[in-house]
Structure 1
Amino acid sequence: MKKPVLALTLCALISTGSVFAAQPPRDNFYWLGQINKASDVINTDEGLLTPEEGHAFAKGIDKVLRDGNLPGAARPHNVITFEPYLIKAAGPDVTKIHAGRSSQDMLTTVGIMEQREHLLTMAKKLNQVQEDFIRLAEENKDTLIPNYTNGVAAQPNSLAHYFIAYANAYGRDMQRVREYYKRLNRSPMGSTVLNGTGWPLDRDRMAEYLGFDGLAYNTYDAGQIFPQEAPIETGGITNCIAIHTTSFIEEIMQQYAQPRPWIILKEGGGNTYVSSAMPQKRNPGLLNSCRTDASTLLGMSVEAMFRSHNIPAGMADGRLSGARDIMPQASKVLTSMDKILNNLVIDPARSLEELNLDWTCSQEIADELMKNHGIPFRMGHHFASEIVTYARAHDITPRDFTYEDAKAIYAKVCASDPHLPRDFPMTEEEWEHAKDPASIVRNRKVKGGPQPAELDKMIQMAKDDLADNKAWTEETEKKLASAEQKLNQDFDKLLRDCMK
């Protein structure tokens, strides 16, 4: 005998590893169907339904689901609109499967099951963005760039060091996802409304069939408090994703104000577009649209917070809902971020030129004076500041500011400061090293700095974190697919028995 269409579809999807791309849509109708199947199987096994009733109800559930999967068919998304279809297919006795259930625990369960799939989709996109940054770091170990604070060039750095910092940031977003999943993936089924039910329901088996890791144990919390809290925590996770994304975008956008930027997007391909009025302009459309989507994501999280504000626990206003879940919007942002990272054009010669045009080495001058010659940092800072003031007034770059120039400025500074040595203490070699961006980056000493040994260490740490995150994502998906397969197999057996 042929298996039901739904079971065949799921088995095929599991075998190909794409269970979360299933057709028909994995919407409220789909998940209410799964809950009804689990209720029928469990209650029949536990003796709350007779075998004859369980078999007959399985046939009715299967018909409703198959009919709902037909093109253009209705797919009721609420318990009270789904049930009439069951009654039509199997008679009023089918409502016996509703013993000990409520719209509250059922729709809370549906919302969680929908969100966990959205969460895993987002997790895979987070992993991809983290992988992009690691790859870019490995490709740019020797690329030297100016880092900026307050929008002003501040320090020379390795571009790889900068990229790994963002890999770490999105890795923390993934940690938040994993921590939240532990709280999310607890089954409310059987909590009914407020205080449970007099029916001896097997909550544990229901949780296993629906892919949960355990129970949302307190029945009041399960249906009233957590569903209102969850969208707020979701917003916290996605807010961090949005902020990391827009911060990176803004730093790229700064380069577009320069006539010769050192990092931009490849032209065309949906990355840039030509101005309708000014032929020279190549507007970074992809950056703009991703930033807009991230801003929308932030707004959606605030909306979720206000829906839950000033209402009693359990009201529908703020309840976790797959239809209002903001994680798909976060996935959209991450998809665009992935495209940005795969379409960057980096010009190492231009970034080094920018470093050598400005005085991002000035702190190193003060550091070297203190480290090698015992001059207090503030005094060295004052000397370096005087150099920068003089150099900018006379349009002298660091590379062209000679050792003799430095000694002349030092003589003026120490004339008014009796605590300074009378002669400029730095050697000419020290002076040249203090101005060299490559030397500055190479000679960092602290853990986590951009020096080659630490950079290689941090790249490996990021790779290890990514591998762990990928393994968790894959394992979690497989566990959910296995639970769903088991439910469908057991329901299919009950259905076959009633078709004999």
Structure 2
Amino acid sequence: MIEEFTVGNDRELDLKLARYDVMGSMAHIRMLESIGLLSGDELKSLLEALEDIAAIIERGEFTIEPGIEDVHSQVEFMLTQRLGDTGKKIHSGRSRNDQVLVDLKLFIRDELKTTSQSIKHLFDRLQLLSEKHKDALMPGYTHLQIAMPSSFGLWFGAYAEALVDDMQMIAAAYSIANQNPLGSAAGYGSSFPLNRTMTTELLGFETMHYNVVAAQMSRGKTERAAGMAIAAVASTLGRFAMDVCMWMCQNFAFISFPDELTTGSSIMPHKKNPDVFEIMRGKCNRLQSIPNEIALLTANLPLGYNRDLQLLKDIIFPAFSELRSCLDMCDFMLSHIKVKENILDDPKYDYLFTVEDVNRLALGGMPFREAYRTVGMQVQNGEYVPTRSVSHTHEGSIGNLCNAQIAAKMETVMDKMS
């Protein structure tokens, strides 16, 4: 009863850490051999056994046996079964606290990098669509009221650049994860002469958590940083999904998708519902709650390891795959999007051009406030006739999207995780 309550589904979640536990153990025993705690022959036999376990993991055949608490204990149990006392030496100079920490750091680092690739694929799709439809005008809104001319080039491009900002969050979380905690043991170091620089290099970490207490304090902070990055991407994606749902509505009808990518109704034969984007919006809204959930779980915990932290895995692990499924689905759907042309020919959009005509008068020499009053009176008296010409040339405007510069920004951020 106690074990069921305290372990829960942790064994299942630990399976995701198995390959990283083996990686961490390989680095650890190489270091132990370098400081004389293992012989060369012991190191060789341990490495061979760990390589065999790694192969079992890659084949999907690794399990945590009944009665064994976690992935770390399972790996050590397998080594001890095969190598006897030599297998028992592997835990010298470390605790399960820093063992799970290094597993988590390696896992989160990889998950962030994989997620960054899905973000980049969607970014590339949005940039492609922005260029393709850069001349297709659409209404711009403020307060959901008709405001000024916009374009599909601007709309698609805006979300592409928003993803660059989100990628900065991913890169920041990656940097926090990319620090080696191994050797901090239970959070207060070890009397063994450990070479933490060696394990940092062997595991490909950018640096280490030098202070052993700070290393243990990173449990929860690493997950929270990753959660904030996930939430940032989800915020952008959820907002885009809302736009799509609205633009598909017959009252707007700016975009459409093939029938097979929409859903119908049991009683209304005309319906083509945006279920994919509604589900995407809902999932992204849930993902935005992750930083709060982690913050509440870790708030005011006393210094050192506390079992509460185990529950973080149940929050952050599925979030990565959930976010990637949304990113990949959005990319797939956008490969089939259809954009409506000549939207602004409809007379109901005439007032979109008032600012263009105010600026045209001002460029002709009329003071701006007088130009504003002149066009305003035309609108009020029902005399306004739009010129329907749009001439925006500054950086980031309808006529100068700066997509190449935005792509360069994305490459700069991506390089931080190379």
TM class by smaller structure:
0.7 to 0.9
Task: Tell me which of 31, 46, 49 is aligned to 1:57.
Answer: 46
Q: How far 1:291 moved relative to its partner?
A: 0.9
Partner of 1:295: 285
Amino acid at match of 1:447: E
Residue identity (%): 21
Q: Does 1:278 align with 2:268?
A: yes
Q: How far 1:125 moved relative to its partner?
A: 0.8
The 5-angstrom pairing of residues 160-309 of structure 1 reads 160-223=153-216, 225-259=217-251, 261-268=253-260, 271-309=261-299
Tell whether the 8 Å contact from 2:262 to 2:273 is kept in structure 1 after alignment.
Answer: yes
SS at 2:288 equivalent: helix
Distance in 2 (CA, whole Å) between partners of 1:127 and 1:177 is 12
Q: How far 1:282 moved relative to its partner?
A: 0.5
Amino acid at match of 1:53: E
Tell whether the 8 Å contact from 2:139 to 2:148 is kept in structure 1 after alignment.
Answer: yes
Distance in 2 (CA, whole Å) between partners of 1:31 and 1:191 is 17
- Structure 1's 260 and 66: CA in aligned 2 closer, same or farther, altered over 3 A? closer
Tell whether the 8 Å contact from 1:102 to 1:192 is kept in structure 2 after alignment.
Answer: yes
Partner of 1:97: 90
Distance in 2 (CA, whole Å) between partners of 1:281 and 1:322 is 38
Distance in 2 (CA, whole Å) between partners of 1:347 and 1:258 is 12
CA deviation profile, 1:233-264 (whole Å, cap 9, x unmatched): 22221222112112222222222332561212
Q: How far 1:54 moved relative to its partner?
A: 2.6
Amino acid at match of 1:27: K
Tell whether the 8 Å contact from 2:238 to 2:282 is kept in structure 1 after alignment.
Answer: no
Structure 2 unpaired stretches of 5+: 1-13
Distance in 2 (CA, whole Å) between partners of 1:368 and 1:330 is 46
- Structure 1's 354 and 119: CA in aligned 2 closer, same or farther, altered over 3 A? farther
Amino acid at match of 1:363: V
Distance in 2 (CA, whole Å) between partners of 1:126 and 1:70 is 28
SS at 1:101 equivalent: coil
Tell whether the 8 Å contact from 1:29 to 1:75 is kept in structure 2 after alignment.
Answer: no
The 5-angstrom pairing of residues 100-499 of structure 1 reads 100-223=93-216, 225-259=217-251, 261-268=253-260, 271-313=261-303, 314-318=305-309, 321=313, 324-325=316-317, 326-349=319-342, 351-354=343-346, 357-377=349-369, 380-391=371-382, 405=383, 435-437=386-388, 439-440=389-390, 442=391, 444=392, 446-451=394-399, 454-455=400-401, 458-469=402-413, 476=418
Amino acid at match of 1:388: V
Task: Tell me which of 19, 32, 35 is aligned to 1:30.
Answer: 19
SS at 1:282 equivalent: coil
Question: When the two structures are superposed, what TM-score results if normalisation uses the length of structure 2?
Answer: 0.86
Partner of 1:18: none
The 5-angstrom pairing of residues 83-94 of structure 1 reads 83-94=76-87
CA deviation profile, 1:452-497 (whole Å, cap 9, x unmatched): xx33xx1111232344455665xx3xxxxxxxxxxxxxxxxxxxxx
CA deviation profile, 1:50-109 (whole Å, cap 9, x unmatched): 234334434554555556667655246442344333222222342222111011111011
SS at 2:204 equivalent: coil
Q: Tell me which moved more, 328-337 or 133-142.
A: 328-337
Amino acid at match of 1:49: L
Q: How far 1:189 moved relative to its partner?
A: 0.6
Distance in 1 (CA, whole Å) between partners of 2:150 and 2:252 is 19
Distance in 2 (CA, whole Å) between partners of 1:354 and 1:108 is 60
Structure 1 unpaired stretches of 5+: 1-24, 392-404, 407-431, 477-500
Q: Larger radius of gyration, structure 1 or 2?
A: 1
Distance in 1 (CA, whole Å) between partners of 2:252 and 2:164 is 32
Q: How far 1:355 moved relative to its partner?
A: 6.9
- Structure 1's 163 and 73: CA in aligned 2 closer, same or farther, altered over 3 A? closer
- Structure 1's 282 and 30: CA in aligned 2 closer, same or farther, altered over 3 A? same
- Structure 1's 64 and 284: CA in aligned 2 closer, same or farther, altered over 3 A? closer
Tell whether the 8 Å contact from 2:183 to 2:189 is kept in structure 1 after alignment.
Answer: yes
Distance in 2 (CA, whole Å) between partners of 1:157 and 1:66 is 55
Distance in 1 (CA, whole Å) between partners of 2:159 and 2:62 is 46
SS at 1:273 equivalent: coil
Partner of 2:10: none
CA deviation profile, 1:357-395 (whole Å, cap 9, x unmatched): 341112233334444343452x5445434433444xxxx
Tell whether the 8 Å contact from 2:15 to 2:71 is kept in structure 1 after alignment.
Answer: no
Tell whether the 8 Å contact from 1:61 to 1:89 is kept in structure 2 after alignment.
Answer: no
Distance in 2 (CA, whole Å) between partners of 1:88 and 1:302 is 43
Q: How far 1:148 moved relative to its partner?
A: 1.4
Question: When the two structures are superposed, what TM-score results if normalisation uses the length of structure 1?
Answer: 0.72
SS at 1:447 equivalent: coil
Q: Does 1:44 align with 2:36?
A: no
CA deviation profile, 1:437-463 (whole Å, cap 9, x unmatched): 4x22x2x35433222xx33xx111123
Distance in 2 (CA, whole Å) between partners of 1:262 and 1:94 is 65
Q: How far 1:281 moved relative to its partner?
A: 0.7
- Structure 1's 253 and 65: CA in aligned 2 closer, same or farther, altered over 3 A? closer
Distance in 1 (CA, whole Å) between partners of 2:28 and 2:233 is 38
Distance in 2 (CA, whole Å) between partners of 1:323 and 1:376 is 55
Q: How far 1:311 moved relative to its partner?
A: 1.8
- Structure 1's 123 and 372: CA in aligned 2 closer, same or farther, altered over 3 A? same
Query: Relative contact order (C-alpha < 8 Å, sep 6+): which is higher?
Result: 1
Distance in 1 (CA, whole Å) between partners of 2:160 and 2:244 is 16
CA deviation profile, 1:18-52 (whole Å, cap 9, x unmatched): xxxxxxx9822222222222222332233221234
SS at 1:274 equivalent: coil
Tell whether the 8 Å contact from 2:189 to 2:212 is kept in structure 1 after alignment.
Answer: yes
Distance in 2 (CA, whole Å) between partners of 1:226 and 1:358 is 57
Partner of 1:6: none
Tell whether the 8 Å contact from 2:105 to 2:222 is kept in structure 1 after alignment.
Answer: no
SS at 1:154 equivalent: strand
